[in-house]
Chain A
Amino acid sequence: MDRTLAQFIKILRGSDVRISIPEALDAVRALHLVGYRDRQILKASLGQVLAKTAREKAVYAECFERFFSFDSFSGLKKETDSPEESEKTYPPIPPSENQNPLIQSILGRMLLEGDHQGLAVSMAEAARSAGVSEIVLFTQTALFTRRILEYMGWIELEEEITNLEFSDAPEGKTLAAKLEEERDYLLEEVRAFVDQQLELYSVEPTRRIREKSLRRIDLSRAEHRDFQQMQLLVGKMARRLTALHSRRRKIHNRGKLDVRRTLRENLAYQGLLLKPRWKMKKRERPRIFAVCDVSGSVQTAARFLLMFLYSLNEILPKVRSFAFSSRLEEVTDYFEGAPVEEAIPRILSACGSGSTDYGQAFVDFRRLCYDRLDHRSTVIILGDGRSNYGNPRVEILRQIFERARQVIWLNPEPRALWSYGDSEMNRIAPHCHRVEACSTLVHLERIIGDILRTAA
């Protein structure tokens, strides 16, 4: 496979464009057909083969511009008119007549002649030999710059400059000064090139490592600067869950005749049973009531839970969200219409003051939507179960438990802490269908996935 194309595909994958192996093979075939000659056509063709959604197309366009840019050395003074030829079929540097016999090294000659294409090709080759696509950290730039320069013939160039300075030839000194100037320019260009490569290649590994760690980080310890990235991750998770669960499945009960529907539908055929109708089960999407503790002790974790609720709102049409610290309020309306970064602080400031009072929260919840609960409802409660030694009124939770399909309690604290201090988890747990410790995004995803799957 074409080296350049392979690298390009690697970069695209790093930027979150999913490319399967058959697609990569298609790209190779497409490349054979169109070639590198026309940049616009190349961009269009590879785009059709590799990027398959509007989002991917945008990412692709950006990567293409950065990857297939040949503007290195464009600042070089042109002394000889190099023939305009495409990058691939560029012939080896033609020996020109006004060649200075004093300059022996190829690199020096190219610099003096202003052969920017030759230099670009030579740099690309050197970069390949130096393995620049393995670059991961910015601390490696100096190393790779050095390596590329060496492959390009840096040492010979240095020697030549020294020789020229001490040579007897009349124009030796001026030539040396000129070469020195060009050498500095070369250094600058190569450094810029390596920086660009770093930007291209390092995105993927760095991001992957960060994402991995963010998914496992304790939610209550997440730092402010991680929020943005976490938000992206939460969104990604929610999208994946949507893709899995957005379909309403109907399960046909094969072989069981639905007598009523059959008779009704066949009335049109004078009661002759032409079209049998079978019984089927519909899987309904769960109706979720999410209750979230947003008091000071769990606020950081609550932020992510709210974030997730926000995304969940987009997956499931019937999510009602509530937030409480001392009193409980419905916050569904906050989510609608406002972007997540506005909605969450507003909820936190509206409900986040005061100390936790589970008793009052349950009373409010019962008042607001007890009669809305039925056998399809799932109630998710997110909180640490610490009621400041107040009465948690578990009898109301019991009523909810008996009425709803399932009650799930997610606690951001690890299980080991549940029975200490003012935690009421031991009294709460018997009145829930499931009690889970939920302190990382991985937990959260697993639990929500389970809820969606089992909601039959």
Chain B
Amino acid sequence: MTELCREISDKFSSIEATRQGMEDLGYICDKTIASAAYLSHHLGKPVLVEGPPGVGKTELAKTAAEYLGRPLIRLQCYEGLDESRSLYEWKYGKQLLYTQVLKEKINDLLEGARGLDESMKRLNNFEDLFFSEQFLEPRPLLQALKHKEGVVLLIDEIDKSDQEFEAFLLEMLSDYQVSIPEIGTIRAESTPMVFLTSNNTRELGDAMRRRCLHLHIPYPDEKQERQIVQSRVPEVPEKLRRQLVSFLQQLRTLDLKKIPAISETIDWARTLVLLHTESLDIEVVRNTLNVVLKFREDIETAAPQLSRITARAVIES
């Protein structure tokens, strides 16, 4: 146990070490992102990650879990998510069985008891099993708290959940504990590392923001994006990689409905590898553009600019 702790604190000995470690796992990040993971570990605070879709918010949590060698527990948020699906649920079936069993055994228990009063006294002496941890079905949040060695908990797209659920999370995020009315308060066995992601479809409350560290991941710059492509799709030749990244960087400056993110870059790189493309040309771009741009309008907006952008991408690299 202590060895594990030491190993983990070694991994977070400095921001640079954290960055390097994550890079070795294929997650290219800058100092800002590394410092978020570093601070989260040392301050014991959850990290709220915001940024446009597809820049690697979820990936950060996955990488952190892999880096720490801890299991990742993921809770996907959606409208109507409540505590019975996120925290715990009673095992109704078993509870029913239990009452059946109890019914049969009750005569043995109460044998010899005279009057109602005495029967009640005897019953009270028994532990209340009906609402006990045995009948508790742990859902992701409770699983994360009860895990012995600590986990990485990913609460994905918190902005999709209701405001009530957000309020319910506050206790969990500030003290790493939850209250179950029938049982009491359950504390975390060891502090989990928590990541929350948000796409800002709804403005999150101040109380939530105060409890978290806040990390904003923007689109990567050209150099960083090249590194990411290299680490994720190593089959892409150097020349094509430069062209591809330069193309996307230019594409992002256009007025698009959905700006292509890193995930699109990677998809496109994979597509080009499959097509055995050596170098970008306008024909290839036209045929594969739908991998990068997902809306009809966007493709129409980009169409007249394509030859210019392609030419520039080819010249620049």
Task: Report which A residues bind B (CB closer than 8 A).
Answer: 18, 20, 22-23, 26, 29-30, 33-34, 38, 40-41, 44-45, 47-49, 51-54, 57, 247
A52 touching B210, Cβ below 8 Å: yes
For B38, what are the chain A residues with a Cβ–Cβ distance below 8 Å? 33
A49 touching B39, Cβ below 8 Å: yes
Closest to B47 in A: A48
Q: List 11 A-B contacts (CB under 8 A).
A: A26-B45, A30-B39, A33-B38, A34-B39, A40-B31, A41-B35, A44-B32, A44-B35, A47-B214, A48-B213, A52-B209
Smallest Cβ distance from B112 to chain A, in angstroms?
A: 39
Task: Report which B residues bind A (CB closer than 8 A).
Answer: 15, 31-32, 35-36, 38-39, 42-43, 45, 47-48, 50, 163, 206, 209-210, 212-216
Contact of A45 among B35, B45, B47, B163 (CB under 8 A): B35
Closest to B213 in A: A48
Closest to B212 in A: A52
For B212, what are the chain A residues with a Cβ–Cβ distance below 8 Å? 52
3 closest residue pairs by CB, A with B: A52-B209, A44-B32, A52-B214
Q: A33-B39, A52-B206, A54-B50 are in contact. List 7 more A-B contacts (CB 8 A).
A: A26-B45, A29-B42, A29-B43, A33-B38, A33-B43, A52-B214, A53-B209
B210 touching A22, Cβ below 8 Å: yes
Smallest Cβ distance from B312 to chain A, in angstroms?
A: 30
Question: A20 to B209, alpha carbons, bound, how many Å?
Answer: 11
Smallest Cβ distance from A366 to chain B, in angstroms?
A: 39
For B210, what are the chain A residues with a Cβ–Cβ distance below 8 Å? 20, 22-23, 52
Q: Among the interface residues B31, B35, B43, which one has the most CB atoms of the partner chain A within 10 A? A: B35
B216 touching A30, Cβ below 8 Å: no
A34 touching B35, Cβ below 8 Å: yes
Smallest Cβ distance from B201 to chain A, in angstroms?
A: 14
A44 touching B31, Cβ below 8 Å: yes
Closest to A18 in B: B206
Question: A22 to B210, alpha carbons, bound, how many Å?
Answer: 8
B15 touching A34, Cβ below 8 Å: yes
For A48, what are the chain B residues with a Cβ–Cβ distance below 8 Å? 32, 35-36, 39, 47, 213-215
Question: A30 to B213, alpha carbons, bound, how many Å?
Answer: 11
Question: A42 to B178, alpha carbons, bound, how many Å?
Answer: 34
For A26, what are the chain B residues with a Cβ–Cβ distance below 8 Å? 43, 45, 213
A45 touching B39, Cβ below 8 Å: yes
Question: A29 to B38, alpha carbons, bound, how many Å?
Answer: 12
Closest to A242 in B: B203
Question: A45 to B38, alpha carbons, bound, how many Å?
Answer: 9
B50 touching A41, Cβ below 8 Å: no
For B32, what are the chain A residues with a Cβ–Cβ distance below 8 Å? 44, 47-48
For B216, what are the chain A residues with a Cβ–Cβ distance below 8 Å? 54, 57
Smallest Cβ distance from A389 to chain B, in angstroms?
A: 50
Question: A44 to B31, alpha carbons, bound, how many Å?
Answer: 8
Question: A139 to B45, alpha carbons, bound, how many Å?
Answer: 45
A30 touching B43, Cβ below 8 Å: yes
Question: A48 to B214, alpha carbons, bound, how many Å?
Answer: 5
Question: A302 to B212, alpha carbons, bound, how many Å?
Answer: 43
Contact of A41 among B15, B42, B206, B214 (CB under 8 A): B15
Smallest Cβ distance from A19 to chain B, in angstroms?
A: 9
For A53, what are the chain B residues with a Cβ–Cβ distance below 8 Å? 209, 214
A49 touching B213, Cβ below 8 Å: yes
Closest to B50 in A: A54
Question: A197 to B239, alpha carbons, bound, how many Å?
Answer: 50
For A34, what are the chain B residues with a Cβ–Cβ distance below 8 Å? 15, 35, 39
Contact of B163 among A29, A41, A57, A247 (CB under 8 A): A247
Smallest Cβ distance from B228 to chain A, in angstroms?
A: 19
Question: A161 to B270, alpha carbons, bound, how many Å?
Answer: 74
Question: A18 to B43, alpha carbons, bound, how many Å?
Answer: 20
Question: A18 to B207, alpha carbons, bound, how many Å?
Answer: 11
Smallest Cβ distance from B98 to chain A, in angstroms?
A: 20
For A247, what are the chain B residues with a Cβ–Cβ distance below 8 Å? 163
For A41, what are the chain B residues with a Cβ–Cβ distance below 8 Å? 15, 31, 35
A51 touching B42, Cβ below 8 Å: no
For A20, what are the chain B residues with a Cβ–Cβ distance below 8 Å? 210
Smallest Cβ distance from B72 to chain A, in angstroms?
A: 21
Closest to A53 in B: B209
Smallest Cβ distance from B49 to chain A, in angstroms?
A: 10
Smallest Cβ distance from A32 to chain B, in angstroms?
A: 9
For A23, what are the chain B residues with a Cβ–Cβ distance below 8 Å? 210
Closest to B164 in A: A247
Question: A53 to B45, alpha carbons, bound, how many Å?
Answer: 17
Given known pairs A30-B39, A44-B31, A44-B35, the reply for A51 and B214 (CB within 8 Å) is yes
Closest to A48 in B: B213
For A52, what are the chain B residues with a Cβ–Cβ distance below 8 Å? 48, 206, 209-210, 212, 214
For B15, what are the chain A residues with a Cβ–Cβ distance below 8 Å? 34, 41
Closest to B163 in A: A247
Question: A30 to B206, alpha carbons, bound, how many Å?
Answer: 21
Question: A20 to B198, alpha carbons, bound, how many Å?
Answer: 22
For A30, what are the chain B residues with a Cβ–Cβ distance below 8 Å? 39, 43
